[in-house]
């Protein structure tokens, strides 16, 4: 547009400069005016030695004549027209030597613009915007001849791609599984089928991880997921199958006579249990035994060491989760009692030191009463306790338990002594 206006201004300036002498250029002859779908097409014959052409137009009967274009071609389409309006056109030329023809010498022709009729026989659909999983798209039916838009339609939003379950495992709180994130998905439908049953919708969630807390231990389940958005649901994921085996809970450990006693709650449908342990601070777990009971005796625990125990349930070759519950204990041997001696101050009981002990609990009983906690010895260097609350003529029995790191040892039956002072 800037080039066209510049050319027009240049030609007008030349007209003013050569207004007296410049009549040597040959005048172009208008050949035809034609109504097209784009506007009025003006064609003219090429003028000898013409370098440029200037197109003039007036509107109606008394319209003012004005320059509408400058071109080097011999055809121009006036697109700025209205249907039913008459337009008059003329063309002048400028020669290569600078001479030109003037508008008053140019031949004019008129035409009323009437847009041609089109049957739109070859109209085709064109995509305006592709549909995606995020938005709908649109398409238009356009006539390639007259460019008329005949119809517009919405292209439905696409449903999401199918999610894929990545991993599935047993946990204390149920079956846990997750799946891939799907572009455009606003939520996911989670389905479950128990062996021999039908598919059931468990939940619709926005995340990509689900915990089936209602799974029953010993039952085999299949799971699948579908992604969804405003357009609908994806296809089903192929699914994953797992037999749910609940993990043993309430794992406890205590020091026994010659080792560590481990116990736990029974698991429904479990046929056996595997007991694992490791020394605190170490990485690897070691299976120390398999049992059908809900307890296990670890007789190889090293005195003074801190152990962590966990248990895995087994059902039809499938295992519960590992290390969902664990118990830490220090293996403490029971203190070996040395002697109890009566004196004027009371009865003094002594024992041998225990590896790993942080202190000792001293217990006492009589023929008429059960065991009571008599006192504590918090100094591990001291392995003696003076009972000042004795009475002359009464026989007392004493025993000692070592403690350390929230653990306590087993104990001997006791050693007896009579207060004789």
Task: Write out pLDDT tens, residues 362-404.
Answer: 999 999 999 999 999 998 789 999 999 999 999 999 999 999 9
Collapsing DSSP to helix, strand or coil, 388 comes out as coil
Structure confidence at residue 324 (pLDDT): 65
- Res 101 pLDDT > 90: no
Report how far residue 85's alpha carbon sits from residue 114's, in angstroms, rounded to the nearest whole number: 8
Q: Looking at residue 379, what is its pLDDT?
A: 80
Q: Print burial letters for 198-215: b (CB count within 10 Å at least 16), e (below 16).
A: eeeeeeeeeebebebeeb
Looking at the chain, the whole-number percentage of residues with pLDDT higher than 70 is: 94
Q: Is the pLDDT reported for residue 5 higher than 50?
A: no
Q: What is the pLDDT at residue 322?
A: 77
Between 55-69, 91-105, 141-155, 343-357, the lowest mean confidence (pLDDT) is in: 91-105
Instruction: Please say if the pLDDT value at position 14 is more than 50.
Output: no
Confidence tier at 405 by pLDDT (50, 70, 90): confident
- Name which CATH class applies to 165-243: mainly beta
| pLDDT for position 119 | 86
Residue 326 has pLDDT above 60, yes or no: yes
Question: Mean pLDDT throughout 207-221?
Answer: 96
Residue 273 and residue 248 in contact, taking contact as beta carbons nearer than 8 Å: yes
- Whole-prediction pTM: 0.61
pLDDT at 97: 80
CA 117/CA 85 separation, integer angstroms:
17
- Which numeric CATH code is attached to 337-418? 2.60.40.10
Residue 313, H or E segment? strand 306-315
Helical ranges in 288-331 per DSSP H: none
Are 351 and 198 in contact, with CB atoms under 8 Å apart? no
More confident residue, 268 or 3: 268
Structural domain boundaries in the chain: 2-112, 124-155, 165-243, 252-329, 337-418
Place of tokens 């008599």: 374
Residue 60: its pLDDT value, please? 85
pLDDT category, 408, cuts 50, 70, 90?
very high
What integer is the mean pLDDT of 133-149? 92
* CATH superfamily, domain at 2-112: Immunoglobulins (2.60.40.10)
Q: Which of 21-35, 137-151, 314-328, 391-405 comes out lowest in average pLDDT?
A: 21-35
pLDDT above 90: residue 112:
yes
- Quote the pLDDT of residue 128: 93
**What average pLDDT does the segment 25-46 reach?**
90
Given pLDDT bands bounded at 50, 70 and 90, which one contains residue 278? Answer: very high
252-329 CATH fold: Immunoglobulin-like (2.60.40)
Distance CA 102, CA 108 (A): 12
Tokens of residue 408, six digits: 């306590």
**Alpha-carbon distances of 253 from 232, 265, 325, rounded to whole Å:** 54, 12, 12
The mean predicted confidence, pLDDT, of the chain is 90
Cβ proximity of 27 and 47 under 8 Å: yes
At 16, phi and psi to the nearest 5?
A: -70, -35
Tokens of 249: 């809970």
Output the six-digit token pair for 339. Answer: 């002697």
pLDDT reading at 12 higher than 70: no
Domains 165-243 and 252-329 agree in fold: yes
């Amino acid at each position: 547009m800037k080039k066209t206006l510049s050319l027009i201004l240049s030609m007008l300036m030349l007209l003013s400069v050569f207004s007296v002498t410049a009549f040597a250029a040959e005048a172009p002859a208008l050949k035809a005016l034609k109504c097209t779908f784009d506007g009025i097409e003006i064609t003219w014959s090429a003028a000898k030695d013409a370098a440029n052409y200037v197109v003039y137009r007036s509107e109606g009967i008394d319209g003012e004549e004005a320059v509408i274009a400058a071109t080097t071609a011999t055809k121009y389409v006036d697109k700025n027209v209205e249907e039913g309006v008459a337009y008059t056109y003329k063309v002048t030329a400028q020669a290569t030597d600078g001479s030109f023809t003037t508008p008053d010498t140019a031949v004019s022709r008129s035409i009323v613009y009437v847009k041609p009729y089109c049957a739109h026989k070859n109209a085709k659909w064109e995509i305006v915007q592709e549909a995606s999983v995020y938005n709908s798209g649109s398409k238009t039916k356009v006539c390639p001849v007259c460019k008329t838009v005949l119809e517009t339609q919405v292209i439905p939003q696409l449903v999401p791609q199918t999610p894929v379950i990545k991993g599935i495992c047993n946990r204390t709180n149920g079956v846990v599984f997750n799946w891939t994130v799907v572009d455009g998905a606003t939520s996911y439908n989670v389905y479950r089928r128990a062996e021999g049953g039908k598919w059931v919708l468990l939940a619709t969630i926005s995340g990509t991880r689900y915990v089936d807390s209602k799974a029953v231990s010993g039952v085999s389940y299949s799971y699948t997921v579908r992604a969804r958005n405003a357009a609908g649901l994806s296809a089903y994921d192929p699914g994953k199958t797992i037999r749910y085996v609940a993990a043993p809970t309430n794992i406890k450990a205590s020091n026994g006579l010659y080792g560590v006693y481990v116990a736990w709650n029974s698991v429904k449908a479990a046929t056996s249990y595997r007991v694992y342990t490791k020394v605190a601070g170490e990485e690897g777990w070691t299976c120390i035994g398999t049992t059908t009971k809900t307890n296990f005796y670890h007789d190889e625990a090293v005195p003074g060491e801190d152990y962590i125990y966990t248990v895995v349930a087994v059902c039809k070759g499938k295992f519960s989760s590992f290390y969902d519950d664990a118990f830490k204990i220090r293996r403490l041997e029971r203190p070996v009692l040395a002697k109890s001696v009566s004196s004027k101050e009371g009865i003094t009981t002594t024992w041998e030191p225990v590896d790993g002990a942080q202190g000792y609990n001293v217990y006492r009983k009589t023929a008429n009463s059960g065991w009571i906690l008599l006192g504590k010895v918090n100094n591990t260097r001291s392995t003696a306790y003076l009972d000042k609350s004795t009475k002359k003529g009464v026989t007392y029995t004493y025993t000692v338990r070592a403690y350390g790191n929230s653990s306590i040892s087993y104990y001997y039956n006791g050693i007896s002594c009579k207060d004789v002072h």
